[in-house]
Amino acid sequence: MRVTRLLLLVVGAAATAYGCWLLLPQLGTALPWLIGGPVLHDVLVAPLVGLVGLALGRLVTNRLRLAWIAAGLAASATLLLIAVPLLWRPPSAPPNPGLPDRDYPLGLAVGLAVLWAAIVVVLVVATTLDRRTDRQ
């Protein structure tokens, strides 16, 4: 394990140094986009996720329901994040007559609706099964 770790360390340091060297000419313009990710995540996204989690835990006491709602929120948030570049085109983007080539807001809305409909169906089925086993 020592050898493996040492090897990883050496190769990792070399690759990092190579990346730094490649990036050097553009470091100034890239820096805000490099730092932006962890800053936004650590001071905004993660605390928000924590607060939503705490609130959800208070509001929903059934564990199965809680798990499925949390999963639905995670999937919705991911889809929204992936959709950002499709929904928001800053004016600096070059014009491309081929883009946008479909109605992304509509597609996203339909996708989210399908997702939540599926979760509602799962929960209704699970609750009915639970009740049945309770009654037996």
Partner 1 sequence: MIRRPRVPVPEDFTAPSHSPLVTARLGLWLAVAFGLCFGTGLLSHYIQHPPGWFTWPTRPVNLYRITQGVHVLSGVAAVPLLLAKLWSVYPRLFVRPPVRQPIRLSAHALERISVLVLVCAAFFELVTGLFNVAQSYPWGFFFPTAHYAVAWLVVGALLLHVAVKLPVARAALSTPLRRSGAAPAATPGPDDRDSSERRAFLRTSAGVAGIAVLATAGVTVPWLRRVSPLAWRSASGPQGVPINRTAAAAHISVPPDWRLEIVWAGGRNSLSLADLAALPQRTAELPIACVEGWSASAHWTGVPVVQLLRWAGAPTGRPVRVTSLETDGLYAASTLPAAHSRDPLTLLALRINGEELSPDHGYPCRLIAPSRPGVLQTKWVARLEVLR
Minimum distance, C-beta of residue 117 to partner 1, in the bound complex (Å):
14
Cis-peptide, bond into residue 97, ω within 30° of zero: no
Smallest separation (angstroms) from partner 1 to the CB of 120: 16
Whichever of 55 and 71 has its CB closer to partner 1, that residue is 71
Rule CB under 8 A: say whether 12 interacts with partner 1: yes
What 3-state DSSP class applies to 13?
helix
What is the number of alpha carbons within 13 Å of residue 64 lying toward its C-beta?
11
Residue 52 found at the interface with partner 1 (CB under 8 A): no
Instruction: Identify residues 84-113 at the interface with partner 1 (CB under 8 A).
Output: 84-86, 89-90, 92-99, 101-102, 104, 107-108, 110-111
User: Which among 72, 57, 66 is positioned nearest to 116, based on CA atoms?
Assistant: 72
- Map tokens 């990710």 to a residue: 37
Least distance (Å) from partner 1 to the CB of residue 80?
10
Q: Which two tokens stand for residue 41?
A: 């995540």
CA 68/CA 79 separation, integer angstroms = 16
Find the binder of partner 1 among 60, 79, 122, 126 (CB under 8 A).
79
Q: Where are the alpha helices (DSSP H) in the chain?
A: 2-23, 27-40, 46-59, 63-87, 104-135
Q: Which residues bind partner 1 (CB under 8 A)?
A: 1, 4-6, 8-9, 11-20, 22-23, 25-26, 29-30, 33-38, 41-42, 45-46, 49-50, 53, 67, 70-71, 74-75, 78-79, 81-86, 89-90, 92-99, 101-102, 104, 107-108, 110-111, 115
